[in-house]
């Protein structure tokens, strides 16, 4: 009887020990899971709701509610001018809609600078920054980069004309302005499909630049040179005339040797007058 009691006791102790061991393991796993969850929570980036484009939007399109959607965006990366609620995009009790001013890709945040105010049209005036003016430049297939100019591109402007007067006049090509932004090609202020030979391009410039370009366009011919995307180099003063281009130099005349000065005196010998050389004193 005692043997059975001892055996039952040993089995009970063994089962209790196993239960304690299993419980300890479960508790350890639970604590590890809690620690991992806390660590993950520390790494979570705080977000805020903003509105992005639900599809690709082109210049001139009216913005509708179906074209936007709300997403959680990292607070530290929210760009200035974002819309954080639908009411700010679409005013209540109003049918007036905003118009897209610049191409917006799908999932790109909507910004105030890329859309008009509710009910405002997407004209050129909405693309001009404070203090800037729109000025049209006449172009053709050669001066307009073969039709590859697009609104938003930047160009350098070269002037070709005649300077000087009379025999000193010459044809000159000179860089007169750099990094000017195009805001329209012909009457298109938005994206264009394929190359198009334009007759005019409209640029955004300061009033002083307007005066300079108007004078240059009146007195000569303007040509545009397309600037590459991301090119922030500043071109220096560039001027090429016809003589430099063709390597023409002025002929230098050989100096004429001065004639040796001879001094003489005349004396009379009888009826004959004789010239006698003497050293020159001056």
Residue carrying structure tokens 């302005």: 177
Which helix (DSSP H) or strand (DSSP E) does residue 12 occupy? helix 2-43
Dump the DSSP string for 25-67. HHHHHHHHHHHHHHHHHHHPPPEEEEEEESS-B-TTPBP-GGG
Give dist(CA 185, CA 119) in Å, integer: 25
pTM: 0.55
Give dist(CA 180, CA 144) in Å, integer: 14
CB of 202 closer than 8 Å to CB of 180:
no
All residues at 6 or more sequence positions from 159 whose CB lies less than 8 Å from its CB, including other chains: 173, 174, 176, 216, 220, 221, 222
CB of 25 closer than 8 Å to CB of 53:
no
Give dist(CA 157, CA 205) in Å, integer: 12
The pLDDT value given to residue 198:
78
Q: How far out from the chain centre does Cα 137 lie? A: 20
Q: One digit per residue, pLDDT tens: the chain, 282 residues?
A: 666 766 666 666 766 666 666 666 677 777 777 777 776 666 677 889 999 999 999 888 889 999 999 999 988 889 999 999 888 888 888 888 888 888 899 999 999 888 888 887 777 776 778 889 999 998 888 777 777 888 888 999 999 988 877 667 778 899 999 989 888 888 776 665 666 677 889 999 999 999 999 999 998 999 998 888 877 777 777 888 877 777 766 666 666 666 667 677 777 676 677 676 777 766
Please give the structure tokens belonging to residue 210. 């307007």
Please give the structure tokens belonging to residue 123. 């004209």
Residues 143, 129, 105, CA angle at the centre, nearest 5°? 80
CB of 59 closer than 8 Å to CB of 126:
no
Region of 125 (left: φ > 0; alpha: ψ -120 to 50; beta: rest) is alpha
CB of 145 closer than 8 Å to CB of 112:
no
The pLDDT value given to residue 212:
92
Burial label for 77, CB within 10 Å (0-12, 13-18, 19+), is exposed
237 secondary structure, DSSP code: -
75 secondary structure, DSSP code: G
């Amino acid at each position: 009887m005692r043997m059975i009691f001892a055996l039952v006791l040993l089995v009970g102790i063994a089962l209790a020990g196993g239960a304690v061991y299993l419980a300890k393991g479960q508790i350890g796993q639970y604590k590890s899971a809690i620690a991992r969850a806390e660590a993950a929570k520390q790494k979570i980036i705080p977000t805020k709701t903003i509105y992005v484009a639900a599809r690709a939007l082109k210049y001139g399109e009216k913005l509708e509610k179906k074209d936007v959607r709300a997403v959680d965006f990292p607070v530290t990366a929210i760009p200035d001018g974002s819309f954080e609620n639908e009411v700010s995009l679409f005013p209540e009790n109003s049918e007036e809609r905003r118009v897209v001013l610049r191409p917006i890709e799908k999932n790109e945040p909507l910004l105030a600078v890329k859309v008009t105010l509710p009910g405002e049209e997407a004209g050129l005036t909405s693309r001009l920054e404070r203090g800037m003016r729109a000025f049209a430049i006449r172009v053709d297939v050669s001066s307009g980069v073969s039709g590859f100019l697009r609104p938003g591109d930047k160009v350098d402007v070269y002037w070709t004309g005649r300077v000087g007067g009379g025999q000193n006049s010459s044809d000159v090509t000179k860089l007169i302005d750099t990094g000017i932004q195009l805001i329209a090609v012909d009457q298109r202020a938005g994206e264009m499909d394929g190359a198009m030979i334009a007759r005019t391009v409209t640029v955004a410039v300061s009033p002083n630049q307007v005066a300079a370009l108007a004078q240059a366009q009146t007195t000569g011919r303007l040509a545009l040179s397309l600037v590459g995307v991301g090119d922030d180099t500043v071109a220096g003063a560039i001027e090429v005339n016809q003589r430099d281009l063709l390597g023409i130099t002025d002929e230098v005349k050989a100096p004429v040797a001065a004639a040796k000065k001879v001094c003489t005196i005349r004396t009379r010998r009888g009826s004959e007058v004789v010239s006698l050389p003497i050293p020159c004193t001056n």
